[in-house]
Amino acid sequence: MKLDATKYDLLNPSDGKVFRDTMLSFILAGRDATASAVTWFFWLLSENPEVVTKIRQEINTNLIKIHGQERPSNYCYIECLNKLMRLYPPVPFERMTPVRPDVLPSGHKVDASMKILIFLYVLGRMEAVWGEDALEFKPGRWVSETGGFRKEPSYKFFAFFGGPRSCLGKLLAMTLMKTAVVEILQNYDFQLVKGQTIEPATG
């Protein structure tokens, strides 16, 4: 297996280290983040059983057969996984450093010696960005008037970042999460054990 480096001068097609590091990022680096997201998703579903009903209806009407087995296709409502990561991002904050002095849209000046913290947990709950119902779990927010999936700008929904440096494993992570959700909802009922205190951990 070789890297496709035909369009990128800085990549060596036989650079095993680049390929190895990329695969490690796909397989290992996103494992815990994906598991965390799915866990929070099922907690939110346990608090909103009507959403479970809608997702199951969507699953039953959009299954296709691949190699004799049923697989999900053309999902829309299950995209509320995005809503989950807005409220409970697996990575609550990120740190960035400018490569050169710059001026942010807010007018603040930054230079290469600064470390800028971006709190995704806070950004996903800002009323100025998401409206007065920012703290509510409303999967319908991601469904358009025609019933399709309403995409938000990547720089607004920041769980995977945006632009050319967005998360390399975004599609893989979403595929893994959707597959896990579909398989569990097809085969199991679930409920939250009473008396549990559910809240994000700090540290």
Bind-site residues for heme: 167
CA atoms within 13 A on the CB side of 151: 4
Residues making up the binding site: 167
